[in-house]
Amino acid sequence: MEPALIGTRLASAAIGPLLKRLLVAEGPGAGLVPKDAEVRLSGLVSFRGEKRVLTEKDVRRLAATLVERSRREDGEPPFPAAEAEAVTDALAAHLLALGDLDMDDVQAVRLGHRDLARRLRAAAPAPGGLSTDSVLYLETLTEWACLHILEFFTRRSTFVARSLVEQTRAQAELLAKTDELIRRTPRAETRDAEFERRYLAHLAKKHGRLTIYGIDLHHSPDEWPLDMAYLSLEATGGEGPHEAPGQQREQAPVRADLALARHERILLRGLAGSGKTTLIQWLTVSAAATGEQPEGMAYLRGRVPFVLPLRALTRHGERLPSPERFLAAAGCPLTPPDGWADRILAAGRGLVLVDGIDEIPEAERGRARDWLRDLLGAYEGNRWLVTSRPTAVRDDWLAPDGFAELTLAPMARAEVTTFVRRWHRAAGPDAAGYEQPLLDSLRAAEHVAQLATNPLMCGLICALHRDRRGFLPRGRKALYEAALSMLLSRRDRERDMGAPTGLALDEAPQIQLIQRLAYWLTLNGRTQMDRDRASSIVTGAVPAVPDASAYPPDQVFTHLLHRSGLLREPTADTVEFVHRTFQDYLAAKALVDHWDIGVLVRHATDDQWEDVIRMAVGHARPRECAEILGELLKAADATEDRRSRLRLTLLAATALDHATELSPEIREEVLRRTGEVIPPRNADEARQLAEVGPLVLGLLGSPEELTATEAFNSMITASHVPTDAALAYLARFVRHPDLRIRSQLIWSWHRFNPRAYADEIVARLDPSDLIFTVNADAEAAEVVRLGLRPSMLRFGGRVSGERVAELLAQCDPAYLALAFVDERSAVLPPASLTRLEHLELSLYEAPAQWILEGLVLSGVSELSLYLLQAQSLTWLADIFPSLRKITVFNGEGGFVDLAPLAALPDLTAVKIWGGVSGVENLPPRIRVSDH
């Protein structure tokens, strides 16, 4: 029987007072208990304790009354009449059980009448011998009685207050538990921020030191702080400000470490030792800096670097990693929160540095490009840098994916001088006396200057010059031989170190063993190998080397690894050469020793083998040289692909200088074949031809016999051979009518001595329609010295404000392009530019107002604005009242508000690149177009 049905038989007005007798009456002072004590149900019932007014017999009579009244109505009785007494006893037992429950009134109300009835039935003795109807009736009547009892509880004067107290306590307890849960399980963003801090600190420590090759003196460490040893190099190529994407031309050089400020995606090419990996270290450390970034590097603030050396990622042929495996695949010991790398890249905060496309086998490069494309498609707004040797992949290999292609330029004379001075300063006071003599040798000895074109070779030259007390070997092969001698034997012997590993091995046996490793790596297209494999190769070869066979093979391997100076362990289980150049040199020696000429020729079109083949010619005897070169020419004849034929011919030509002795017939044949690919057809072929060196200059045509395109490409070749002979060749084009050719002459200035180039070329150039590009203070000083007054000027970011103002005061140009990388270089002395009509500004960290503060620019009608960071344009109306046309290049990916342009009364045209907003606020007279 449901409580509702019983309620129709027992009116609340009649039965309520009856049930209320079960509870203690509240009156003045009633129910008081000691402070903070809990009031349990046993203290609220009237048949227990000091306030007892009912006995158990009274409770039974109350139960009998309830049963009797519920049966008075007409209709079918709810249970058999014979069981009335048993039902009454059971109901009385249930009511008496109220005094045995360990809860208070608030807890009872929270239970509800059905759960309270179940608690009473469980606390009372189980009724025996009742029929099913009696049991159901008893359950229903008990629930109905509990419903009334709970109603009485809620009317108690103390109930509301106690409920609030209980509620407050429960909330406080819940809050405490929630706080503890939060403390134990921090939010994702909190975990990410903490991990990012640890990760950046790890990168700063790992990449913050640099080996300066050759500095291994008694009181000098092997590594130096990167900010002390790093030399900022320049890169050429890429898209210029006036070209649409994909339209390539020779560009004025830019600082390589600032290239990512202009381009989100870059494929950077560079020769072995040119500084590609060091650049990646510099970018990584700059992004990881917690304080002030190095000069010009603030554009990396907030970026999270991912350094991905492909040689390590594909060592075992594994699939290239997805973002969640970036750190583990690159050997980072830290474990990021789940999804951390994905969140960084999805937010567009990543700096992805993929090092060494050329260091994986050619067959795997297509797979690497697909992997890269998948990442690019999934994540936008990040910065991407991919490095490679120059010919490892074809031109435009990543151009469809939005990559600009740049090439690290050879070190200019000024950069070589800076490097030499830093090297000697780092090497300590004992080396100071050798600094100036070496600088003099580099200016006087052409064969040495030709070798000092990248940081690796400069370091070796500095070390050998100091090691040999001021004398240098002639030629590249002699240079490497001297370097190996210094590293393998003379270093420890002259430092009186004895035999720190217990072995005394001369130079020759060490080379015999180490070249086995170089041979295996090169043959397998690798630059890194497992330590166990390296150990097995060396230990297997030890018995065949008499001078080494007297020692335990594993001890010999340990000696080579730790004392040769040629090997290193990037991780605990891998081995590689300290630089790829040493691997190539020793692999070439091993190939010549085994006379594996077939292997050389089969790999002649593989870019990873170019230096190996050149050095093999250097190692070979005259008959062997002739055979290698002859086979290369035969391979060129056998291929129908022009690019491969050009590559093989140039490879033979570049190998000529390495040969110690060669028959005149072979030399003439190689030079004749080279003449068949000259003049170059495009800029790529032009740069490849430049690798031949000064020999190619005698094959390049004269201005009179070349078309404009042939002349332009030939000049690119000559400009990449920075010798006096190249200067003389370029000077023949100063009066050429083609603007591209004269522009190329100006762009090439940085590769030569500033004064000599200024006298031979710049002073004689036809200035008609020519933009004079000035990239350094020395070049600006030469323009001033010569008294030139070009009407079109472009300044690079490395020209000081003082030099800019000095030159502007002299020429007052009609067109001016300014590029500033920071606030310091942006401060210009006052200058009045009365003729200026078109101004081009490239802004990195410097606000435009600072740059223009001292200039009078009221006549400017056209402005090209290149922004690294989205800046306000409210200042334009004050500085350019006559502006009619503006082009805005927004390179950062944010949004530039164009609304302030409405304040320019004469403005009629706006051209935009990148994200902008506020176009709808411009008046109809202003036409807006994109690229």
pLDDT digits (tens, 9 = 90+) for 94-143: 888 888 888 888 888 888 889 999 999 888 888 878 888 888 888 888 88
What pLDDT, on the 0 to 100 scale, is given for residue 646? 78
CA angle 755, 759, 762 (to 5 degrees): 100
Q: Sort strands 528-530 and 815-820 into parallel, antiparallel or unpaired.
A: unpaired
Quote the CA–CA distance of 615 and 919 in Å, as a whole number. Answer: 61
Q: Which residues contact 456 (CB under 8 A, 6 or more apart)?
A: 213, 272, 273, 274, 579, 581
Q: Does 389 or 863 have the greater pLDDT score?
A: 863
Nearest residue to 506 via CA among 546, 464, 465:
546
Report which residue type is found at 146: C
Please, are residues 609 and 600 in contact by the beta-carbon 8 Å criterion?
A: yes
Q: In angstroms, how far is CA 356 from the centroid of its own chain? A: 14
Quote the CA–CA distance of 592 and 586 in Å, as a whole number. Answer: 10
Q: Sort strands 234-237 and 404-408 into parallel, antiparallel or unpaired.
A: antiparallel
**What region does 8 belong to: left with phi over 0, alpha with psi -120 to 50, or beta?**
alpha
In percent, the amount of the chain with pLDDT more than 70 equals 84
Q: How many CB atoms lie within 10 A of CB 108?
A: 21
Stated as kind and residue range, the H or E segment containing 658 is none
pLDDT at residue 447 tops 80:
no
Q: How confident is the model at residue 245 (pLDDT cuts 50, 70, 90)?
A: very low
Stated as kind and residue range, the H or E segment containing 910 is strand 909-913
The mean per-residue pLDDT over the stretch 150-154 comes to 84
Please, are residues 608 and 526 in contact by the beta-carbon 8 Å criterion?
A: no
Highest mean pLDDT: which of 284-298, 376-390, 482-496? 376-390
Strand, coil or helix: 886 = strand
What pLDDT, on the 0 to 100 scale, is given for residue 215? 47
The mean per-residue pLDDT over the stretch 882-896 comes to 80
Cut 0.75: pTM above it: no
Quote the CA–CA distance of 405 and 247 in Å, as a whole number. Answer: 11
Bridge partners of 407? 236, 269
Least confident of 58-62, 435-439, 444-448: 444-448
Q: Which residues contact 539 (CB under 8 A, 6 or more apart)?
A: 553, 554, 556, 557
What pLDDT, on the 0 to 100 scale, is given for residue 494? 43
Report which residue type is found at 374: D
pLDDT at residue 47 tops 90:
no
Quote the CA–CA distance of 416 and 442 in Å, as a whole number. Answer: 9
Q: Which residues contact 47 (CB under 8 A, 6 or more apart)?
A: 22, 53, 54, 55, 56, 58, 59, 96, 99
Quote the CA–CA distance of 548 and 508 in Å, as a whole number. Answer: 10
What pLDDT, on the 0 to 100 scale, is given for residue 607? 75
Bridge partners of 529? 575
Q: How many CB atoms lie within 10 A of CB 630?
A: 17
What pLDDT, on the 0 to 100 scale, is given for residue 712? 93
pLDDT for 528-586, tens place per residue?
Answer: 999 999 999 999 999 998 888 888 898 899 888 877 778 878 777 889 887 788 899 99
Least confident of 17-26, 146-155, 790-799, 913-922: 17-26
pLDDT at residue 741 tops 70:
yes
The secondary structure of 50-93, three-state, reads: CCCCCCHHHHHHHHHHHHHHHCCCCCCCCCCHHHHHHHHHHHHH
pLDDT at residue 4 tops 70:
no
Q: Which residues contact 56 (CB under 8 A, 6 or more apart)?
A: 47, 92, 96
Quote the CA–CA distance of 832 and 856 in Å, as a whole number. Answer: 5
The mean per-residue pLDDT over the stretch 844-848 comes to 54
DSSP letter for each residue of 299-336: GGTT-EEEEEEHHHHTTT-PPPPPGGGHHHHTT----P
Q: Does 187 or 337 have the greater pLDDT score?
A: 337
Highest mean pLDDT: which of 333-347, 747-761, 851-865? 333-347
Quote the CA–CA distance of 789 and 836 in Å, as a whole number. Answer: 13
Nearest residue to 385 via CA among 261, 298, 273:
261
The mean per-residue pLDDT over the stretch 320-349 comes to 93
Q: How confident is the model at residue 203 (pLDDT cuts 50, 70, 90)?
A: very high
Residue 34, phi then psi, degrees to nearest 5: -55, 150
What pLDDT, on the 0 to 100 scale, is given for residue 247? 38
Please, are residues 748 and 760 in contact by the beta-carbon 8 Å criterion?
A: no
Q: Sort strands 209-211 and 909-913 into parallel, antiparallel or unpaired.
A: unpaired
Q: How confident is the model at residue 224 (pLDDT cuts 50, 70, 90)?
A: low
Report which residue type is found at 917: S
Please, are residues 651 and 614 in contact by the beta-carbon 8 Å criterion?
A: yes
What pLDDT, on the 0 to 100 scale, is given for residue 184? 61
Q: How confident is the model at residue 398 (pLDDT cuts 50, 70, 90)?
A: very high
Q: How many CB atoms lie within 10 A of CB 698?
A: 11
Bridge partners of 224? 210
What pLDDT, on the 0 to 100 scale, is given for residue 346? 95
How far apart, in Å, do the first and last CA atoms of the chain sit?
84
Quote the CA–CA distance of 492 and 512 in Å, as a whole number. Answer: 19
pLDDT for 608-652, tens place per residue?
Answer: 888 899 899 999 988 899 999 999 999 988 988 777 887 888 888
Residue 865, phi then psi, degrees to nearest 5: -120, 120
Q: Does 676 or 717 have the greater pLDDT score?
A: 717
Q: How confident is the model at residue 886 (pLDDT cuts 50, 70, 90)?
A: very high
Least confident of 225-229, 425-429, 444-448: 444-448
Q: For residues 552-566, b (16+ Cβ closer than 10 Å) or e, as one string?
A: ebeebbbbbbebbbb
What pLDDT, on the 0 to 100 scale, is given for residue 260? 92
Stated as kind and residue range, the H or E segment containing 731 is helix 724-731
Quote the CA–CA distance of 410 and 592 in Å, as a whole number. Answer: 30
Q: How many CB atoms lie within 10 A of CB 317?
A: 7
The secondary structure of 237-273, three-state, reads: ECCCCCCCCCCCCCCCCEEHHHHHHHCCEEEEECCCC
Quote the CA–CA distance of 105 and 39 in Å, as a whole number. Answer: 8
Q: How many CB atoms lie within 10 A of CB 921?
A: 12
The mean per-residue pLDDT over the stretch 223-245 comes to 62
- The average confidence (pLDDT) of the chain is 81
Q: Sort strands 350-355 and 383-388 into parallel, antiparallel or unpaired.
A: parallel
Quote the CA–CA distance of 308 and 300 in Å, as a whole number. Answer: 18
Please, are residues 244 and 931 in contact by the beta-carbon 8 Å criterion?
A: yes
pLDDT at residue 412 tops 70:
yes
Highest mean pLDDT: which of 255-259, 377-381, 386-390, 665-669? 377-381
Q: How confident is the model at residue 175 (pLDDT cuts 50, 70, 90)?
A: confident
Q: How confident is the model at residue 182 (pLDDT cuts 50, 70, 90)?
A: low
Using the Cα atoms of residue 369, residue 371, residue 374 and residue 379 in order, give the sign of their dihedral. negative
Least confident of 411-415, 535-539, 700-704: 411-415
Nearest residue to 520 via CA among 496, 537, 540, 500:
537
Least confident of 152-156, 290-294, 385-389, 843-847: 843-847
Please, are residues 342 and 323 in contact by the beta-carbon 8 Å criterion?
A: yes
pLDDT at residue 473 tops 80:
no
pLDDT at residue 727 tops 60:
yes
Radius of gyration, alpha carbons of the chain: 43
**What region does 354 belong to: left with phi over 0, alpha with psi -120 to 50, or beta?**
beta
Half-sphere exposure of 596 (CA within 13 A, CB side): 17
Q: How many CB atoms lie within 10 A of CB 783?
A: 22
